[in-house]
A = this chain, B = another copy of it.
Amino acid sequence: MTQAQTLSKNQQIVLDIIEKANSPLKAYSILFNVQKKGINAPQQIYRALDKLIEMGKIHKIESKNAFVACRSSDCEISKATAFSICENCEMVDEISDTKLSKYLSSFSDKKGTKFKRFNLEFFGLCKKCK
């Protein structure tokens, strides 16, 4: 039973912007968007981003240094994330596929080592760009 998290002011501002966006946002583009709200420094953005990631509210797209809102229920606090990324228009979709998620969560390497967490990024062309 996870406690419903209440967000701090800056966390809520940053999350709102990311949720409204339909593509991944970069930290500095978030910063430029919130300067009217009194947030002036990168630190304030990065701190909010860190907490939102911890809470599983957003994910970082590592290959793009950009952030998207979590749309999945599978990934439970970002232990198991998968994305499709369009190489042309930069669009990113979170992949929510129980079979894939189970397969990778239970994957172990040749030494039998299991892992706590994974992040998978697929690249190709989205429907529009094909």
A113 touches B124 (CB 8 A): yes
Is A28 part of the contact surface with B, judged by Cβ < 8 Å? Answer: no
Q: Would you call B127 and A113 a contact (CB within 8 A)?
A: yes
Count this chain's copies in the assembly.
2
* Contact residue among B97, B100, B124 (Cβ-Cβ distance under 8 Å from A114): B124
Question: Size band of the A side of the interface?
Answer: 20 to 34
Contact residues, A40-80 vs B (CB, 8 A) = 62-63
A62-B62, A62-B63 known; A93-B117 Cβ under 8 A: no
Given A62-B62, A93-B109, A100-B107; A124-B120 close (CB under 8 Å) = no
Residue numbers in B under 8 Å from A124 (CB-CB): 113-117
Complex CA–CA separation, A109 to B123 (angstroms): 12
A contact set with B: CB distance below 8 Å: 62-63, 84, 87, 93, 95, 97, 100, 103-104, 107, 109-111, 113-127
A-B residue pairs, 7 tightest by C-beta? A115-B124, A62-B62, A115-B122, A117-B123, A120-B120, A118-B122, A116-B124
